[in-house]
Chain A
Amino acid sequence: MADTFDLIVIGSGPGGYVAAIRAAQLGMKTAIVERENLGGICLNWGCIPTKALLKTGEVFEKLSHLGDYGLSATGASFDFDKVVQRSRGVAKTLSGGIAFLMKKNKIEVIEGTASLEKATPAPKVMVALKAGGSRSLTAKAVVLATGARARVIPAVGLVPDGEKVWTYREAMVPKAAPKSLIVVGSGAIGIEFASFYQALGAEVTVIEALDRILPVEDADVSAAAQKAFEKRGLKFRVAAKVTKLVKDKAGVSIDLEAGGKAETLKAEVAIVAVGIEGNVENMGLEALGLKIDRGHVVTDDHGGTNVPGLYAIGDVAGPPWLAHKASHEGIHCVEHIAGRAGPVVHSPIPGCTYSEPQIASVGLTEAQAKDKKLDVKVGRYPFKNHGKAIASGDTEGFVKTVFDAKTGQLLGAHMIGAEVTEMIQGFVIAMTLEATEAELMQTVFPHPTMSEAMHEATLAAYGQAIHM
């Protein structure tokens, strides 16, 4: 087993494993170091298994109104263990898939925990092997893809204990479905868990410190989302700060302060989803003098850091903390290291929330566009009028487009409703290709689909909507 490589990647999540595969494609002798499971958080404790759980929730939810479709069934129930095991099975399958891809691309997988030491042309990588012992590796370049973990706030008691207080991690493998749940934080993670557990019958309250839920989304989407979730029985406390979390026999008791008023909420379990922190500790990064800002490695356009030969990508390198951002950064970084960077194509990064209803968006919100002093044309097309939506019984939500009035540039698209996470790529492609409203208007969308709403929302921005 050689200890010298062209590239060493630390962390095998969607940033790391994708970077490693690209490096191998470019002919670089590559090793990847992983201290837990191949596929990182995304495949094992994040994106993928949560979607498996959410699918269960979605199907179970349909069972409660089969009559709408002319169907009936009695005795709908769920076996929580089986629900969780399904998601674990999915994670395991995909992690195995990564193992296969590593083998196929002749990337050496080194199981253990890495730390770095100063060296040239790149830091030396010392691995404390899972199986015992250690290895010392050198390479021409090292890519840090160690990801991030849930942020905790010990000061107010928002610290997971695996029993009554969970982060996303514990929320993936609970022993039982809670009957009542408080979710602290209304970003995508918080909302997805809230949506899932509510579908399985829990009483859920979501607490958000800012003045609206899903604060990164367009304000119209936040408002519509809250209404849709409340219709399903979710409760919200916005502009509310958690001042204290206390555990008792029944579960948790959370003190909030909202608009000067204090309130106490009780539930069996609390999920803490208040953001994430980069994994930058215990790797010798401080000794290298690596520039780290508020828990994230400071990088340039190609993932380069202030330490020669050391790069960083994905969650550890800062927001947005999205798997697809990590993957693209990984590819771009490796291509740059190999001197094979092609012309840069700027593509905006979409964000999706896989709740019921789904939420998906890309680009500027209407408010952000106006903040930039842009003159905008805004189109909004609701699904309630829409053929396919009515046929499927999924009439919640809308598609909203924001165009630059002067140039016709698509500045942003914001959607809430069924299938929108699958549709957003159309707008992303349009923005990547620098299409204007003219091309979108002339694109033929198939009928009958939910995606036609994207066309109508574009027409609506210019006062030309046909179906509303």
Chain B
Amino acid sequence: MTDILMPALSPTMEEGKLSKWNIKPGDTVEAGQVIAEIETDKATMEVEAVDEGVVDAILVPEGTDGVKVNTPIARLKGEGEAASSAPAPLQSTTPTAPPPQAVEQKPAAPPASSAPAPPKTNGSARVFASPLARRIAAQKGVDLSAVKGSGPHGRIVKADVEGAKPGAPRPAAATAAGPAAVSQVKSLEQLGIPPGSYDLVPLDGMRKTIARRLTESFRDIPHFPLSIDLEIDRLLEARGKINAALEKSGVKVSVNDLLIKASAMALKAVPDANASFTAEGIAKHHHADVAVAVAIDGGLITPIIREAENRSLADISKAMKDLAARARDRKLKPEEFQGGTFSLSNLGMFGIKNFASIINEPQGMILSVGAGEERPVVRKGQLAVATVMSVTLTCDHRVVDGATGAKWIQAFKTYVEDPITMLA
């Protein structure tokens, strides 16, 4: 018997929804065959079989949400114990990344004979709660593992959750992987918002991920901003000429595409800025993989233009269009949005003058681009009008100091204000 485990579709994936099974008990499974579809916060992925055999049982039904990585989801009868080498067949191939989160997700078996005593609940053990209690706890932001159950076999029931303060802190036994520490959360009511005065929209996977990652980043990374104004008349002119030349091929390069290229070239010119902080050392990336923030329904995602320093504008433009469209359909593969060495976020289309984004770990910097607008400029004591765009670079001070960030901005400014220099 071989267990098929819930795969980690990326190094940071902790759980997903098993949205569809393509196999059923009795089917023969071949290696490479697509056996299921898994939905994470950002994408739906096909799962290919690694082992071969006949399906003995489906352990997790279709449509089950919150399936932790490495949970057995199906069982195969094989010819002998086919020792599968890759437990997480679709893990993206960052060679050094250990999967620490996957390890502690095995659910603890509930103690069999503890009928009178309620089972201990901690981060990874199964919590016994009625469906209604679970739902109310989720709505209130109550951590079930901290609630005492008054029902049979220590089951948590509605009354227990309604009596619990929202966001009661987890017991001291923190999970092995570390910092999922929940801070004291106050309910809206405690904060002065009366119940019934709002509609509650449940958190989806993407929103939970955004909440978690950006909170961690904001809290753990020493951010500092560097701002500069750029005159983009020449950039706009260059764009016009480039698009005229590309007209026949149907490619239309946007200002943002040019900024992606300029960012990547600046990262190549200032390699100290194309880096990530790790406890073991500063990781100086070989390529400028530029992640571009794309707003989608209900949130945002950052598809990546890999090796942007080596790609033509037409190529970058085509790639962005494809990635953005698939991002909106939530059809990006994990390796298309996870990772990256630098991020670019543009709110110019909303008329934002300037802003300072939060860094996407583990990147060292993120550039926030504002709207290009006609502004008065002073040149050699004379007043003139130019199209000006304000940008702010937020840096992780552990890896990018002020001078490094400023050097990068200098390089970027040169490329943007004089695009022809990107040919050099």
Contacts and interface: CB of A to CB of B under 8 A. Distances in A.
Interface of A: 342-346, 406-409, 433-436, 438-439
Contact of B131 (A343, A344, A345, A436): A436
Contacts of A409: 132, 158
Nearest to B129: A434
B131 A434 contact: yes
B260 to A, nearest CB: 44
Nearest to A410: B132
Contact of B135 (A343, A344, A408): A408
24 contacts: A342-B152, A343-B150, A343-B151, A343-B152, A343-B155, A344-B150, A345-B151, A345-B152, A346-B157, A406-B139, A407-B135, A408-B132, A408-B135, A409-B132, A433-B130, A433-B131, A434-B131, A434-B133, A435-B130, A435-B132, A436-B131, A436-B132, A436-B135, A438-B131
B125 interface: no
Contacts of B157: 346, 434
B131 A435 contact: yes
A436 B135 CA distance: 9
Nearest to B199: A406
Given A346-B157, A434-B133, 9 more contacts: A343-B150, A344-B150, A407-B132, A408-B132, A409-B158, A436-B131, A436-B132, A438-B131, A439-B131
B45 to A, nearest CB: 25
B139 A407 contact: yes
Nearest to B150: A343
B139 to A, nearest CB: 7
A240 B158 CA distance: 42
The 3 closest A-B pairs by CB, nearest first: A434-B130, A434-B132, A436-B131
Nearest to B159: A346
Nearest to A436: B131
Contacts of A406: 139, 200
How would you classify the secondary structure of chain A's contact residues: helix, strand, loop or mixed? loop
Interface in B136-170: 136, 139, 150-152, 155, 157-159
A282 B150 CA distance: 42
Contacts of A436: 131-132, 135
Interface in B114-136: 130-133, 135-136
Contacts, number: 36
Contacts of B133: 434
The residue among A344, A407, A435, A439 with the most chain B CB atoms within 10 A of its own CB is A407
B412 to A, nearest CB: 50
Contact of A407 (B136, B150, B155, B159): B136
Contacts of B130: 433-435
Contacts of B131: 433-436, 438-439
The residue among B131, B135, B200 with the most chain A CB atoms within 10 A of its own CB is B131
Interface in B292-326: none
A381 B151 CA distance: 33
Nearest to A432: B130
Contacts of B152: 342-343, 345
A343 B150 CA distance: 6
A278 to B, nearest CB: 30
Contacts of B135: 407-408, 436
A435 B139 CA distance: 16
Nearest to B116: A342
A438 B130 CA distance: 12
B119 to A, nearest CB: 14
Nearest to B158: A434
Contacts of A407: 132, 135-136, 139
Contacts of A346: 157, 159
Contacts of B150: 343-344
A438 B134 CA distance: 12
Contacts of A434: 130-133, 157-158
B138 to A, nearest CB: 10
Nearest to A438: B131
A409 B162 CA distance: 14
B365 to A, nearest CB: 43
